Amino acid sequence: MLTLSLFLIPLIAGLVLLNIKNKSLASSISLVVSFIQIAVFVYAFSVFKDNSALLTFDKPWLSDFAIRFHLGLDGLSLVMVGLTVVLVAIILLAIKNLNYENIPRLLGLILLTEAALVGVFSAKDIFLFYFFFELALVPVYLIANFWGGENSSKITFKMFVYTVFGSLFMLISFVLLYMRGQSADIESIKVTVSLLPNLIKQILFWGLLLAFSIKMPIFPFHTWLPDAYSKSPTPATMLLSGLLSKMGVYGLIRILLPFAPSGVQMYGEIIIILAVVGLVYGSIIAIKQNEIKRLIAYSSFAHMGLMAGAVLTLSVTGLQGAIFQMVAHGFNAVGLFYIAKIIFDKTGSRSLTTLGGMTQSAPVLTVMFMVVLLGSVALPLTNGFVGEFLMLKAVFDFNHVIGIVAGLSVVFGAVYMLRFFQKTMYGPSNDSTINITDIGAKEMMVLVPIVIVVLLTGVFPNLILDISGSFVNSLGVLNK
Amino acid sequence: MTPIALIPLFPLIGFLINGLGFGKISKSLVPIIGTGASLLSFACVLLAYLQFDGTPVVVNLFDWITVGDLNIKFAFQLDQLSLIMLFVITGVGTLIHLYSAGYMSHDEGYGKFFAYLNLFLFSMILLVLGANYLIMFIGWEGVGLCSYLLIGFWNKNTDYANAARKAFIMNRVGDLGFLVGIFLIIQTFGTLEYLEVFEKAKGFQIGDGIILAITFALFVGAMGKSAQIPLFTWLPDAMAGPTPVSALIHAATMVTSGIYMIVRSNVLYSLSPATLEFVAWIGLATALLGATIGLFQNDIKKVLAYSTVSQLGYMFLGLGVMAYSSGLFHVITHAFFKALLFLGAGSVIHAMSGDQDIRNMGGLWPKIKITAITFLVGTIAISGIPPFSGFFSKDEILAHVFEHNKLMWGLALLGSFMTAFYMFRLFFVTFKGNFRGTHEQEHHLHESPSSMTLPLIVLAALSIIGGAIGFPEIFHFPHKLNEFLSPIYEGSKLVNPEFGVIHIDHATEWILMGVSVLVAVVAIVFAFTVYGNGKNVPGSDESMSGIKKVVYDKYYIDELYNNVFVNPISSLSKFFGNVIDNKFIDGIVNNVGSLVNQTSAQVKRLQVGGTSSYLLFMTIGIILLLVYSLVPGLFESLKSVIK
C-alpha cells in the first residue's frame, strides 16, 4: 500500500494542480505533497528490512490478459524511488521561484512525472513497466513544448519520436515474451527466459537494449540529447537529466540483465566499448562547448555512458557503482542545470565567452557551484567519487585497457568543468556580471539540500550502498 | 575521542568556522582561529608521539565504502612514518599560518585564505594519516583541490586562474595513474589497508610483474603530485599563488606527497627493482632539468620553484636507490630551508611592494636585515655546506647513489654544483650591490612585521640544526631518524637482500663528503666572482640568445605540451562536436527518422488545441484508466480489510 500511495499522491495532486489557477495555493500544495512523499518514503524505508509486505500492491489490471497492477519495492526500487521523491521535491522548490508562466500547471506536470517515475521504478509487471516508461515522457514533453523557447517544440518532438521509437522495440520484446510464457510478471519471466529459443533471445536482447540505449542514451543513439537538454526549459531539462535518463539504466538492470542474460554475456563487451567510447567522446566534446547548458548536456551524456558500461561488466562493483552514480548524477545534474539557470537569469547569458568574474559579486553562489562541481568531477568525499571509483574499477577489472581509456574521463571531466567554472566565476568581471546580486534564501533552499546530499553521501556512501547491495547480491546473473 | 582523530579535526573545524563565517568574523579573530587550529593539531601530534609505543596504532572510524567483498574503512594509522610527516606538516604549517597573519593582512580575502589553508592542512593530514590507499587518495586529491583554490586565490587575473587549472588537471593525469595502482592493489591483495597489503606482499618474489605494474602506476601519481618529469610544468606556474602557499604547499608539504607514498609503500618498491631504477633516473633527470632552468631565471619565486622541482628530483633519486630514509630526511630538511627561502622571498616581495624580479632589487642586505640573514642561512643550507641541515640529507643520498651507480653520482654532483651556483646568484643579485628599483619602491623598503620575521628565525634555526636528526655513521653519533624509522622497513629487509646494505668504507665516505663540499664551495666562489660585487646584473629577456634562451624559456616544454596535447584535443573537441556529432551521426538519425517524420505529419494535425484542452484530455484519460483498472481491485481489497 505504501508504494501505491507514493504513486497515487503525486498523481492526484498533479491532476488537481493542472486544473487550478492560484499560484501560491499551487506552490503550497506542491510543497506539502513533496513533504508527504518524503515522509511516506522514509516510512517505507524504515519498514523495508523487516516488513516488505507493506511495500507491495498487487491487483489484477487487465485480467483477461493476466496483466496485473503490481507494484513493489526491493533494494534497487527503493533507491530509485528515494531519488525520485527527494529530487522532485528539490525541483519543485526550484521551479516555484523561477519566472515561468502558469506555474500551477508546471508544478502539476512535474508531479505527474513523479507519479509515472514511481510507477516505472516499482512496476513488477512488464506491461505496467512499459506503460509508465512511456507515460513519464508525456508531461515532460508537454513542459518542453509549452514552456520552451523558439524551436523547442521541433527539438522535443524529435526527442519524443526518437525515444518512443526505441520503446517500440521494448514493447515488441515484451509482447513476444508474453506470448511465449503467458505471463507478464517480471519475476516469473526471469525464471522462464532460459527456455526460449535462440532467435527469440537475440531479438529480446537487441530490442530491449535499443530501447534503453536511446533512453539513457548510449553512443551513438545520443544525438537527440544535446539539443533537447540545452533548448528545453530548465524544469524539463532537470527532469530529463536527473530522472528520466535513469529509467534507461534502471531498465538495463531490471529488465535486460535478467531477461537476456545470454545476449549480455555474448555482446556485453561491445556495449561496454560503445559506452566507454561515448564517455570519452562526450567528455571531449564538452571541452569546447561555450553554451553552458550544452556543456552540462554533454557531460551528462558522458556520465551515462560509464553507468551503462559498469552495469554490463556484470560485477557487484559495477552494479553498485552504477546504482550509486544514478543517485549522485541525479542530484549533481539538477544542481548544475539550476546553477546554469541562475547564471542566465542574473546575466542574461549562457555563453562562456561573455561571462566571467561572477565570484566578485556572488561569492555564495561560487561556493555552492564549487561543491556541486566537485561532486561532478568525482573528488573524494563527494558523491561523484564513490560512483566513479566503483564503476571505473569494474570496467578496469573487466578489461585493463578499456578501464584506462574510461579513466581518461576523470581528466577530461576536470578540464571542462573547471573551464566552465573559471569562465563564469573567475577572471575579470564585465558589464553583464559586474552588477549582479548574490543568491538569496530562495536559491539556498534548493542548493543547500543538494550540497548536503553531495557531501553526506560522499562521506557515508554506505547509506545507499547497503540498500542497493541487498538487491545486487540477490541478482543471480552476476559474474564472480 | 582519541587524540589521533583530533589531529585532522582541528583544521577541519578551523576551515568551517573561517569559511562559513567569512565576512562575518572580525579580522583580528581570523588568524587566531586559523593558526590556533593548526597549533592545536600540532599539539595533538606531540601528544600522540608521547603516547606512541612503537607499534602502529590503527583507529577505525567507520566503514566508508562497502561493496561485495571489498570493505574500505575510514581509518587512520599512526606509526613512525605518519608521525614524522605530521610533525613537518603541522609544525611548518603552524609557522606559515603565523606568517600569513602578517603577509595577507591587507587582502580582502583574509578569512577565505585561512579557511583554505586549514582545509589544506586537513587534506594533507588525511593523506599521511590514512590507514589505506583510498584515504591517502582522499588527501591526495584534496590537497590538489586546495592547491587549485590557493593558486587561483587572486583569480581576477586570468593567468593566475589558468595556472590553477593547469595544476589541477596535470595532477589529475597523475591521479589516474594512482587510481589504476589502487585498482591493481585491490585485484592483487583484495584489500587496500596498509598493514594487510604489506603483510601479503612479503609473500611475493622480487621482480614480480604485478608488483611492477602497481608500483609504476602509483609512481605516475607521484610524478604529478611531486612535479617530476614529465608532469612538472605546473609547479613553476603555481607560483601565481600567494607566497605562503608556495612555501607550505608547493615546497614543504604537498609536493613531497609522492615521496611519502613511496616510503609508505617501500615493501612494494623494494620488490620491484625495475621501478626503482626508473624512479631514480626520473628523479635524477628532473633534478638536472630543474637546476639548469633555475640558472637563468630572474623571478625570485621562479628560481625557488625550479629549485624545488630539482630538490624533489634528489629525493626520488634517493628513493630509487632504496635510500628511503635519506629521501625522507631530505623531505624534512628541505621543508625547513625551502619554506624559509620562500617565506624570505615573500618578505622581500613585501618590501619591494610586490615586485618579484631580482633585476630590480639589489642592495637589500642593510634594508631588511633579518630577512637577508635568514635567507642566507637557507641558501647555505640548500647548497650543502656543513653543518647546515641540507648537507647531511643530501650527502646521505649522494653516498647511496655512489654505491648504486657512479655515473648517476657524477650527474647528481653536477646538479649540486648548479644548485649552489644559482642559489648564491639569487642571493647576491638580490641582496648585494646597489638598489635598482624605482624611487617609490626604495622609499617603501622596510622589514616585515614580527609575525613574519619570527617564523623566518625559527625556520632558520631549524635549517641550521635540523641535520642533527641524522648524523652520518662515521661521526659516531646515533642516526636518530634511521633508528626511529627502522620498523617501517621490516618488509623491505625481508624481501630485498640489497636493502640497507652499505659497502663503502669510511675512507671513501670521507672522500665523498669532501668532494661534495668542495663542489658546493667552488660553485659559491664562482657565483661570487660573477655576481658578488653586485655590479653584474642578469640581462633583459630580449638580450638572451642561443642555448641560454632555450633554457630560460624552459626548453619550450609548455609549448610542446600545447602542441602535442592541448591543441589537438581542442581541435578534436570541435571536430567531434561540429562534424561527427552534428553532421554525421545526427544526419543518419534524421534520415532514418524521415520516414517517421512523414507519418508524424499526419499525427500533428491532432495538435491543434490549446494547452488547456490537452491537459483536460490527459486528466480525463488517466482518471478513466485508473478507475477502469483499479476500482474493482480496490473494492476487493477494501472488502478484505473490513472483513
Average pLDDT, chain A: 90
Question: Do residue B582 and residue B468 come from a single domain?
Answer: no
What lies within 8 Å, CB to CB, of B617 at 6+ separation is none
Q: Is A460 in Cβ contact with B629 (below 8 Å)?
A: no
Q: Is the pLDDT of residue A102 over 90?
A: no
CB neighbours (10 Å) of residue B128?
28
Question: B426 with B515, same domain?
Answer: yes
> Is B2's pLDDT higher than 70?
no
Q: What phi-psi label fits residue A67: left (phi over 0), alpha (psi between -120 and 50 degrees) or beta?
A: beta
pLDDT tens per residue, range B356-400: 998 888 888 888 889 999 999 999 999 999 889 999 999 999 999
**Strand ranges (DSSP E) for B378-500?**
none
- Asked if residue B215 is part of any domain, the answer here is no
Say what angle helices A441-459 and A316-347 make with each other, to 10 degrees. 160
CB A375 within 8 A of CB A450: no
How far apart, in whole angstroms, are the C-alpha atoms of residue B341 and residue B320?
Answer: 27
The reply to whether B439 falls in a domain is yes
Same domain, B520 and B433: yes
**Separation between Cα atoms, residue A36 and residue A18, nearest integer Å:** 19
Look at residue B154 and tell me whether its pLDDT is greater than 50.
Answer: yes
Whether residue B564 sits in one domain with residue B476 = no
pLDDT tens-digit readout, B531-590: 888 778 888 877 777 888 888 888 888 888 888 888 888 888 888 888 888 888 888 887
Say yes or no to pLDDT of A406 above 50.
yes
How far A93 CA lies from chain B's nearest CA (Å)? 23
CB distance A251 to A107 below 8 Å: no
Distance CA B423, CA B410 (A): 20
Q: Is A125 helix (H, G, I), strand (E, B) or coil?
A: strand
Distance, CA of B15 to CA of A171 (rounded, Å): 55
Is the confidence at residue B223, as pLDDT, over 90?
A: yes
The neighbour count for residue B439, using CB atoms within 10 Å, is: 8
Q: Which amino acid is at A99?
A: N
Both B589 and B504 in a single domain? no
C-alpha cell at A342: 541562475
A-chain residues near B173 (CB < 8 A): 411
Beta-bridge mates of residue B193: B132
DSSP letters of A35-87? HHHHHHHHHHHHHHTT-GGGG-EEEEEEGGGTEEEEE---HHHHHHHHHHHHH
Q: What is the amino acid identity at position B584?
A: F
- N- to C-terminal Cα separation, chain A: 36
> Would you call B640 an interface residue with chain A, using a CB distance cutoff of 8 Å?
no
Tens of pLDDT, residue by residue over A233-263, are 999 999 999 999 999 999 999 999 999 888 8
Cell of B489: 622497513
Range of the domain at B616: 609-643
Answer for the pair A232, A156: CB distance below 8 angstroms, yes or no.
Answer: yes
Chain B segment 57-96 residues within 8 A of A by beta carbon are 62-68, 70
Nearest chain B residue to A285 by CA distance is B573
Task: Indicate which of B573, B575, B624 best probes the interface with A, i.e. most A CBs within 10 Å of its own CB.
Answer: B573
Q: How far apart are CA B99 and CA B18, in angstroms?
A: 17
Q: Is B210 within 8 Å of chain A by CB? A: no
Q: Are residues A427 and B161, on separate chains, in Cβ contact within 8 Å?
A: yes
| Amino acid B642: pLDDT | 47
What Cα–Cα distance (Å) separates residue A342 from each residue in A170, A235, A320, A369, A424? 38, 13, 33, 11, 12
Amino acid type, A471: F
User: Which B residues in the span 318-347 are in contact with A, Cβ-Cβ below 8 Å?
Assistant: none
Lowest mean pLDDT among A254-258, A290-294, B49-53, B476-480: B476-480
Q: How far apart are CA A98 and CA A235, in angstroms?
A: 10
Is A189 in a helix, a strand, or coil?
Answer: helix
pLDDT at B641 over 60: no
Q: Is residue B161 part of a domain?
A: no
Distance separating alpha carbons of residues B124 and B11, to the nearest angstrom = 10
Q: Are A274 and A216 in contact (CB under 8 A)?
A: no
Whether the ipTM is more than 0.95: the answer is no
Compute the CA torsion angle A438, A440, A443, A445 (nearest 10 deg).
Answer: 150
Q: pLDDT value at position B616?
A: 58
CB pair distance less than 8 Å for B172 and A419: no
Angle at B527 between CA B522 and CA B531, to 5 degrees: 155
Q: Are strands A67-71 and A57-62 parallel, antiparallel or unpaired?
A: antiparallel
| Predicted local confidence at residue B605, as pLDDT | 55
pTM score, whole prediction? 0.92
Backbone dihedral angles phi then psi of residue B436, each to the nearest 5 degrees: -115, 5
CA distance linking residue B302 with residue B553, whole number of Å: 12
Alpha helices in B152-231 (DSSP H): 158-189, 194-201, 209-225
Nearest-Cα residue of chain A relative to residue B23: A363
Q: How many domains does chain B have?
A: 3
pLDDT tens for each residue of A407-446: 999 999 999 999 999 999 998 888 888 888 888 889 999 9
> How close does chain B come to A311, measured CA to CA in Å?
14
pLDDT of residue A39 exceeding 60: yes
Query: Is pLDDT above 70 for B632?
Result: no
Average confidence score pLDDT of chain B:
88
- B577 interfacial to chain A (CB closer than 8 Å): yes
Distance in Å, alpha carbon of A207 to nearest chain B alpha carbon: 17
Burial category of A98 from C-beta neighbours within 10 Å (exposed 0-12, middle 13-18, buried 19 and up): middle
B627 pLDDT higher than 60: no
Nearest 5°: phi and psi at B298?
-115, -5
Q: Are residues B486 and B595 in the same domain?
A: no
Rounded to a whole number of angstroms, the distance from the CA of A386 to the nearest CA of chain B is 8
- Min Cα separation A196/chain B (Å): 31
- Give B234 to chain A, closest Cα distance, Å: 14
Strand B70-78 versus strand A57-62 pairing type = unpaired
Within this chain, do residues B536 and B568 fall inside the same structural domain, yes or no? no
Convert the pLDDT of each residue in A333-376 to its tens digit: 999 999 999 999 999 888 898 888 888 888 899 999 999 999 99
CB pair distance less than 8 Å for B156 and A60? no
Q: Of B541, B562, B589, which marks where a domain is finished?
A: B541
Residue A57 φ then ψ, to 5°? -140, 125
Q: Compute the nearest-CA separation of A305 from chain B (Å).
A: 16
Residue A437 burial (10 A CB sphere; 0-12, 13-18, 19+) = exposed
CB contact under 8 A, A61 and B629: yes
Amino acid at site A303: H
Rounded Cα distance, B468 and B480, in Å: 8
Distance to chain A for B66, nearest Cα, Å:
6
Q: What is the DSSP string of B357-374?
A: BGGG----TTTSHHHHHH
In a domain, B41, yes or no: no
Asked, for residue B208, whether it belongs to a domain, the answer is: no
Give me the pLDDT at residue B3, please. Answer: 81
Give burial (CB, 10 Å; 0-12/13-18/19+) of A409: buried
pLDDT in tens, B575-622: 888 888 888 888 888 777 776 566 656 555 555 555 555 555 666 666
Q: Which amino acid is at A212?
A: F
Residues 6+ apart with CB under 8 A from A91: A110, A235, A238, A239, A242, A334
* A100 neighbors A52 (Cβ within 8 angstroms): no
Same domain, B316 and B452: yes
- A461: which chain B residues are within 8 Å (Cβ-Cβ)? 64-65
Beta-carbon contacts below 8 Å between A and B:
169
Closest C-alpha among A200, A404, A151, A162 to residue B596: A162
Is B300 in the same domain as B310? yes
**Torsions phi, psi of B354, nearest 5?**
95, -5
B169 part of a folded domain? no
**Cα B263 from Cα B489, distance rounded (Å):** 9
Looking at residue B639, its pLDDT comes to 46
* Cβ–Cβ below 8 Å for A223 and B585: yes
pLDDT of A276 over the 50 cut: yes
Looking at the partner chain, which of B162, B172, B574 has a beta carbon nearest the beta carbon of A411?
B172
> Is the Cβ–Cβ distance between B193 and B135 less than 8 Å?
no
Q: Say whether B71 sits in a helix, a strand or coil.
A: strand
In a domain, B119, yes or no: no
Both B362 and B450 in one domain: the answer is yes
CA–CA separation, A58 and B433 (whole Å): 92
Contact call for residues A189 and A138 (beta carbons, < 8 A): no
Q: Are residues B523 and B389 in the same domain?
A: yes
- CB contact under 8 Å between A161 and B186, yes or no, is no
Note whether residue B151 is domain-resident: no
Q: Mutate which of A12, A376, A462 to test chain B, going by most B C-beta atoms within 10 A? A: A462
B521 and B576 fall within a common domain: no
Determine the residue among A8, A11, A15, A457 to mutate to test chain B binding: the one whose Cβ has the most chain B Cβ atoms within 10 Å. A15
Measured distance CA(B266)–CA(B493) in Å, rounded: 10
Query: Among B68, B156, B577, whose Cβ lies nearest the Cβ of A427?
Result: B156
